[in-house]
Amino acid sequence: FHPAPEGWTDEDYHARQRDFLRRHFELARSADLNIVIHTRDKKGTASFDDALAIYREFSDDVRAVFHCFPGPPELAERVFAAGGIISFTGIATFKNAQAVIDTAKAAPAGSFMVETDSPYLAPTPHRGKRCEPGFTRLTAEAIAAHRGESLEQIADMTEEVVENFFRLPV
């Protein structure tokens, strides 16, 4: 998303980012942990494609969540096929975020979480303000409405996903 720093070519900078992501995966594998990935492109899917390709190299040993998932459903399907999960922010409450809404509607149960991405991406009606953890409920309510499910169903399902991904004691 951001341009290469002064003195770097875009390709050298992106190669360094790919190298660091591989190192993160190697560390996660050695520590028997999962990994959280955030990709962001100004246009296209280059960083997503790079991150997913690297994830596939490690997917037998490490599970990834693509957090702050921007949609569309076709990208989510690629994450699911690799064994990963996705996570939705307050963007799922935005009227102009049809790709995210479509992804939330199409995502299989057990394949996603909800999050704040604090301090950014506060859900409607707090859009443009500092995002707080308590706002996660608004995102979950929007996703439940989009999916035709109850808030309780979404809460139970996402709680199980979180407990499994982060290996929390139950």
Q: Cα–Cα distances in Å, from 135 out to 36, 37, 82, 88, 139?
A: 21, 22, 30, 12, 7
Question: Going along the chain, which residue ranges are E strands?
Answer: 35-37, 64-66, 85-88, 112-114
Question: Which residues are CB-contacts of 31 (< 8 A; sequence separation ≥ 6)?
Answer: none
Q: How many residues does the chain have?
A: 170
User: Counting beta carbons within 10 angstroms of the beta carbon of residue 115, is it exposed (0 to 12), middle (13 to 18) or buried (19 or more)?
Assistant: buried
- Per-residue pLDDT tens digits for 94-149: 999 999 999 999 999 999 999 998 898 999 999 999 999 999 999 999 999 999 99
- Per-residue pLDDT tens digits for 44-101: 899 999 999 999 999 999 999 999 998 899 999 999 999 999 999 999 999 999 999 9
